[in-house]
Chains A and B, each alone.
Chain A
Amino acid sequence: MKTAPSPALNDPGIVPAILARHGHDATRLMQILRETQESLGWLAPETLTAIASGVGWPRAKVEGTAAFYSFFHLRPRGKYCVLWSDNITDRMLGNRELMQALCEKLWLEPGRLSEDGLVSVNTTSCTGMCDQGPAVLVNYRAVTRMDMARVEQMAELIRNQVPLDEWPAEWFQVTDNIRRKDALLDHGLVPGEALAAAMALGPQGLIDEVKAAGLRGRGGAGFSTGMKWALCRDAAGEAHYVVCNADEGEPGTFKDRVLLTSYADLVFEGMTLAGYAIGAKRGLMYLRGEYRYMLDALESVLARRRAERLLGARILDKDFDFDIEIHFGAGAYVCGEESALIESLEGKPGRPRIRPPFPVTHGYLDQPTAVNNVETLAAACLVARHGGTWYAGLGTGKSAGTKLLSVSGDVERPGIYEYPFGVTVAQVLQDAGVTNCIQAVQISGPSGVCIGQDELERRIAFEDLPTAGAFMVFDCTRDMFEVARNFAHFFAHESCGFCTPCRVGTQIVAQLMDKLETNHGSPYDIDEMFKMHRLMQGASHCGLGNSACNPLFDTLNKFRPAYERRLKSLDYEPAFDLDAALSQARQMTGRDDAGAHLDNME
């Protein structure tokens, strides 16, 4: 086997150039690590040492960050790294069979680097392509619509070591799949229009309109945006910051992907509005690593906006300076949690902070920070342009405006659907086209709620079914136990590991679900899962742990037969087959009589 060359020594100029480009600034560590890895393939021990001395951090701190994120490699990674998106929707589209086939063609096991150091194949959490799966990331570039033909061709391309740039271009195509537009997607605004309207109102006037609009956060929690901006504006600090949360990690969610692809102006303008409202000069967009492919397009929108005086110094000739920079995450769902996101922006592991204090007073670099979801910021443009009263007239009483839904799973037309709040689940299903009978819809992803077929008249709104946008549909042929098991593994993989209940609890739950899957479970194990649910819901440090057992709880309550089918008996069952475990002893002693089998022992 070839040993991987030491990359840092191979190319002594690369790391210093990257460090210089980022001003040796430790808070830019995530970007430094990513760019270094993009050049060198992986992050060798001596590379980390060089980066640490370059940014002036203890080496262990740099390694601590690098080790936290799934997309950073501290061991040789191979020339090709293929990661299969493993959301339940990818599974329903056959990703496991395709991955197995790819592995067989390349003669390797999932998760292991090939003998010649050329390629590794593994899974990754949902990559946000549920409407065009099964999806993969090849060297962190998104490939959509995998099928057996593509698998065969991919194996060939890898074996022949064809550079990624020469792979078929259509593989890398990501389509928007916008199926229904409403006020936001049909906004009709030209760049700068909302900003000019906001500047006519003044910062306080803008905040008042946003409050009057009843705009609530689209990232899931539904906090009043006007209130957040007011709190942030009023907080004392040396500088204020706007952060756009584009981490979009909740499995089944892909609406921010579409907004950033085709509505980037609106999102950046929303960030600029927020900056104007709270008195910030800098905005940071935290984009998930899975969306790395968007960088060039987004940078060119930013450049155009600077040229049009919509960003930079003296915006629209007024006394307002503001600019935006883009930061990437590196494969960590928990970084969608706003305080973990801020830690990541500062170059640290994405560990949720102790709250209070909240980001509005102590956020990025401990300064007042308004963190908002992509869609919230885009919607703010409508408020600035048309006024709070107009906006409040859309939707329902407690849920003003419209909501983008990311519809995937068992529907004919997966994609983006925009509705005024208050739409029924049944209406969405009808528009998306369902042919088979519906068993369940998972609203707002694994940390949301799972509703059954008798609940389809419920409404998408903070009053009934709040959602960050995911809408995954399961027809009557689907096994809801497998859905919950997929989610349990997702949380076990994504737990940051900071607090005991979530760190170990998510693993216990995943283990129990696997025990049930192999038909070794008993009602006792189901009680155990309820017990973990009760523990994690109260004692976890952040929302991830608090909601990690939601899918389990919902499916156990609503689809219990899917579990009971799997129970071996009504008594306690150990996690492994005791009798099978004795087979080696039987072989060694040459016994196979009744007394050498467990069933027959007292």
Chain B
Amino acid sequence: MSEQNIFLLDGEEIAFAPGQTIMQAAQSAHKYIPHLCWHPEFKPHGSCKLCTVKINGRFGSSCTVEAAAGQNVENRTAELDDKRRTLLQLLFVEGNHFCPSCEKSGDCLLQATAYEMGMMTPHFDHFYPDRPVDASHPDVMLDFNRCILCSLCVQASELADKKNVFVMGGRGMRGRKIILNSESGKLGDTDFSVDDRAASICPVGVILKKRVGFVVPYGERTYDKAPVSAVEAAK
């Protein structure tokens, strides 16, 4: 790594390897940039926009923009966290999120990020979309009320499992959704298995394994013990 391969993240010098995105470089340096649709195992998707930073004064998605020497990257500023709070509120009102009864509560990246950003209320009127629950598979159930359209299950199923059980289709807020790879549209009619990578990738409470629900009780889960910024920085 040459000496010049350094950029500034909130004033701190961060070294990067050529070809790394700002997000990857920050992660390697144990710095937290908020994110929902990014996962180190997969290609950046660039859809949630929680990772929006300012690069030399211009907005950009840190998960897709490559790091470059001398960039001045603003991350946890009041302006950006304010935008992130609004984005989170948009995600909450477009789905049906009822955290107190959700099996994922405490392990959910959406909920944890909302705490991190100090989101106190959903602010906007709820859309209350009509979204399905699919219990047709013997080992896994799906509750699309909580889907944030991050496409991680799509990538996991396509690239890791080589199955394409989940595909993103449709258009706009009312149309875009996960489509399951069977004529009936049911998970039980696909070749999905509980051992698939896609079965454990969902950052929120959509893809849930049956019969293991509350093995770890509320209060002792990942983000109950430490905020997401600390959990991520420790990785």
**Residue from A46, A48, A354, A495 within 8 A of B173 (CB atoms):** A495
Structural contact, B90 and A501, CB atoms closer than 8 A: yes
B135 CB-CB contact with A under 8 Å? no
> Contacts of A65 on B, CB cut-off 8 Å?
169
B175–A508 touching, CB < 8 Å: no
Judge whether B52 and A539 touch: CB under 8 Å: yes
Segment 487-540 of A: residues with Cβ below 8 Å from B: 492-501, 503-508, 511, 531, 535, 538-540
Q: Nearest Cβ in chain B — how far from A179, in angstroms?
A: 36
Asked if A511 and B125 sit within 8 Å, CB to CB, the answer is yes
A541 interface residue, CB < 8 Å from B?
yes
> Does B91 contact A504, Cβ atoms closer than 8 Å?
yes
8 Å CB interface, B84-134 against A? 86-87, 90-91, 93-94, 124-125, 127
Flag if B166 contacts A60 (CB, 8 Å): yes
Whether the Cβ atoms of B59 and A538 lie closer than 8 Å is yes
Residues of A within 8 A of B171 (CB): 67-70, 332, 349, 495-497
On chain A, the residues within 8 Å of B124 by CB distance are 508
Contacts of A332 in B (CB 8 A): 171
B29 contacts A by Cβ under 8 Å: no
Give A49-65 interface residues, CB cut-off 8 Å to B.
49, 58-61, 63-65
Distance in Å: Cβ of A358 to nearest Cβ of chain B: 14
- B179: chain A residues at CB < 8 Å are 60, 63-64, 67
From known contacts A58-B181, A507-B127, infer whether A500 and B169 are also in contact, taking CB-CB under 8 Å. Answer: no
Beta-carbon contact of A507 and B173 below 8 Å: yes
Question: A535, B125: Cβ atoms under 8 Å?
Answer: no
Interchain CB contact (< 8 A) of A508 among B90, B91, B181? B90
Task: Please give, as numbers and ranges, the residues of chain A lying within 8 Å of B181 by CB-CB distance.
Answer: 58-60
A111 at the interface (CB under 8 A from B): no
Q: Is B68 an interface residue (CB 8 A)?
A: no
Instruction: Tell me whether B182 and A59 are in contact (CB under 8 A).
Output: yes
Are A541 and B182 interface neighbours, CB within 8 A? Answer: no
A465 part of interface (Cβ distance < 8 Å): no
Q: Within residues 44 to 66 of chain B, which ones have a CB less than 8 A from any CB in chain A?
A: 44, 46-50, 52, 59, 61, 64
Question: A68 to B83, Cβ gap below 8 A?
Answer: no
- Residues from chain B with Cβ under 8 Å of A503 in the complex: 94, 149, 172-173, 176
Across the interface, do B167 and A64 meet the contact criterion of CB distance under 8 Å?
A: yes
| B170 interface residue per 8 A CB criterion | yes
Nearest A residue to B91 via CB reads: A500
Considering only CB atoms, which chain A residue lies closest to B151 in the complex?
Answer: A498
Contact A59 B46 (CB under 8 A): no
Query: Which one of A67, A507, A531, A539 contacts B169 once the chains associate, using CB atoms below 8 Å?
Result: A67
Chain A count of residues within 8 A CB distance of the other chain = 43
Residue A45 lies at the interface, judged by CB distance under 8 Å to chain B: yes
Q: By CB atoms of chain B within 10 A, which of A45, A501, A503 has the most? A: A503
Is A575 part of the contact surface with B, judged by Cβ < 8 Å?
Answer: yes
**Contact call B94/A61, Cβ cutoff below 8 A:** no
What residue of chain B has the Cβ atom nearest to residue A57's Cβ? B164
Q: Tell me, in angstroms, the Cα distance from A17 to B157 when the chains sit together.
A: 32
* CA gap between A437 and B166 in the complex, in Å: 56
A48, A58, A492, A511: the one contacting B164 at CB < 8 Å is A58
Given A63-B167, A539-B83, CB of A500 within 8 Å of CB of B172:
no
Q: How far does the alpha carbon of A540 sit from the alpha carbon of B175 in the complex, in Å? A: 19
Residues of A close to B170: CB separation below 8 A: 64, 67-68, 349, 497
Asked if B46 and A354 sit within 8 Å, CB to CB, the answer is yes
Q: How far is the CA of A46 from the CA of B50 in the complex (A)?
A: 39
Whether B180 lies near A60 (C-beta < 8 A) is yes
A66 to B171, CA, bound (A): 10
A531→B87 CA distance, assembly (Å): 12
CA distance in complex: A243, B216 (Å)? 55
Bound form: Cα–Cα A367–B48 in Å: 28
Given A497-B149, A500-B49, A501-B87, decide whether A539 and B59 contact each other with a Cβ distance below 8 A: yes
Interface centre among A70, A539, A575 (most CB of B within 10 A): A539
Task: Provide the A455-493 mask, 1 if CB < 8 A to any CB of B, else 0.
Answer: 000000000000000000000000000000000000011
Nearest-neighbour CB distance to chain A for B74, whole angstroms, equals: 12
Determine if A500 and B167 form an interchain contact, defined as CB atoms under 8 angstroms apart: no
Q: Which residues of A516-570 have CB atoms within 8 Å of chain B's CB atoms?
A: 531, 535, 538-541
Is B41 among interface residues, defined by CB-CB distance under 8 A?
no
Nearest B residue to A44 via CB reads B183
Please tell me if B168 contacts chain A, counting CB pairs below 8 Å.
yes
Please, what's the 1-or-0 string for A145-167, where 1 marks a CB less than 8 Å from any CB in chain B?
A: 00000000000000000000000
**Inter-chain contact B86/A499, CB cutoff 8 Å:** no
Q: Which of B90, B168, B176, B183 contacts A45 (CB 8 A)?
A: B183
The answer to whether A60 and B49 have CB atoms under 8 Å apart is no
Which residues of B have CB within 8 Å of A501? 49, 87, 90
Min distance, Cβ A52 to any Cβ of chain B, angstroms: 9
Tell me the residues in window 175-207 of chain B with beta carbons closer than 8 Å to chain A beta carbons. Answer: 175-176, 179-183
B49 cross-chain contacts in A, Cβ below 8 A? 499-501, 539-541
Closest-by-CB residue of B relative to A574 is B125
Query: Inside 8 A of B47's CB, which chain A residues have their CB?
Result: 498-500, 541
Closest chain-B Cβ to A382's Cβ sits at a distance in Å of 37
- Check A495 against B172 for contact (C-beta < 8 Å): yes
A506 to B176, CA, bound (A): 14
Known A500-B87, A501-B49, A538-B52; judge A68-B183 contact (CB<8 A).
no
Give 16 pairs: A residue, B residue, CB < 8 Å, sorted on A: A48-B183, A60-B167, A61-B169, A63-B167, A64-B168, A64-B170, A68-B170, A496-B171, A497-B149, A497-B170, A497-B171, A498-B47, A500-B91, A504-B94, A535-B86, A541-B46
Chain B interface residues (CB < 8 Å from chain A): 44, 46-50, 52, 59, 61, 64, 83, 86-87, 90-91, 93-94, 124-125, 127, 149, 164-173, 175-176, 179-183
Can you name 14 extra interface pairs (CB under 8 A) apart from A497-B170, A499-B46, A535-B83? A58-B167, A59-B182, A63-B167, A64-B167, A67-B175, A354-B46, A496-B172, A500-B49, A500-B87, A501-B87, A503-B173, A506-B173, A511-B125, A541-B61
| Among all A-B residue pairs, the 10 with the closest Cβ atoms | A64-B169, A497-B176, A60-B167, A504-B90, A58-B164, A538-B59, A60-B181, A67-B170, A497-B172, A67-B169
